[in-house]
């Protein structure tokens, strides 16, 4: 199994590499198009700001490369947001792979309670793909062997709206997409590499599931 982690001007890449080491999977960090195209799986990580990230991708032709990928791709945090059409963060045109908009999180709950933005910390994820009346979720998907409403670790100020590609949702001032699937593209708003056992299981699922 050859996994490529896309190298661009986004933070948190080392923690993703460390997670792969813990899982016993080898991954290469690269911006070489040939290496990315030939990989069995591609990770598109990210911590940063949308417009500068998109500018970096366009300047190096990585935007078109990502759009053309046919193997499973997993966007993490900003990487997931950039899969959408548009982000309210500095009015940014994104990759346009997932038909959805990324919106700023509200600083007030529906009941008027003040919320801290960015949303930092542990929150529950309710998965919809493959959900049955029993737990864990049915086998074969991103959330295989992960109990419903498990806690994952979040750090973000913007989030993708609920859309036709949503496979998991979380509440923080509003319901938002915490995991998405569109064709061969997956995304998670949380950080699986920082989410202890359930995060490692999700990464393992992505690396081993049959597509």
Catalytic residues: 77, 191, 193
User: CA dist 15 to 12, 56, 134, 167, Å?
Assistant: 6, 21, 33, 25
In our burial notation (b when 16+ CB lie closer than 10 A, e otherwise), range 106-118 reads eeeeeeeeeeebe
User: CA dist 102 to 17, 57, 78, 160, Å?
Assistant: 26, 18, 10, 4
d(CA 15, CA 139): 27
Judge whether 209 and 142 are in contact, CB under 8 Å. Answer: yes
**Count of Cβ atoms closer than 10 Å to residue 77 Cβ:** 27
**Count of Cβ atoms closer than 10 Å to residue 62 Cβ:** 20
Judge whether 92 and 52 are in contact, CB under 8 Å. Answer: no
Q: Which two tokens stand for residue 123?
A: 């929150």
Place of tokens 């911590």: 47
């Amino acid at each position: 199994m050859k996994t490529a982690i896309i190298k661009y001007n986004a933070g948190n890449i080392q923690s993703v590499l460390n997670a792969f080491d813990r899982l016993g999977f080898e991954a290469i960090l690269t911006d070489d198009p040939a290496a990315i195209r030939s990989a069995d799986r591609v990770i598109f990580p990210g911590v940063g700001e949308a417009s500068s990230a998109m500018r970096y991708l366009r300047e190096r032709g990585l935007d078109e490369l990502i759009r053309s990928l046919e193997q499973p791709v997993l966007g993490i945090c900003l990487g997931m947001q950039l899969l959408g059409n548009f982000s309210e963060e500095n009015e940014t045109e994104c990759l346009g792979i997932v038909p959805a908009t990324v919106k700023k999180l509200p600083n007030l709950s529906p009941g008027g309670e003040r919320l801290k933005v960015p949303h930092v910390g542990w929150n529950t994820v309710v998965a919809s793909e493959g959900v049955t009346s029993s737990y864990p979720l049915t086998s074969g998907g991103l959330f295989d062997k992960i109990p419903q409403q498990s806690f994952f670790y979040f750090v973000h100020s913007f989030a993708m709206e609920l859309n036709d590609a949503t496979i998991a949702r979380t509440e923080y001032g509003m319901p938002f997409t915490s995991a998405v699937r569109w064709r061969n593209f997956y995304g998670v708003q949380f950080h699986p590499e920082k989410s202890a056992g359930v995060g490692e299981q999700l990464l393992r699922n992505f690396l081993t599931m049959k597509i």
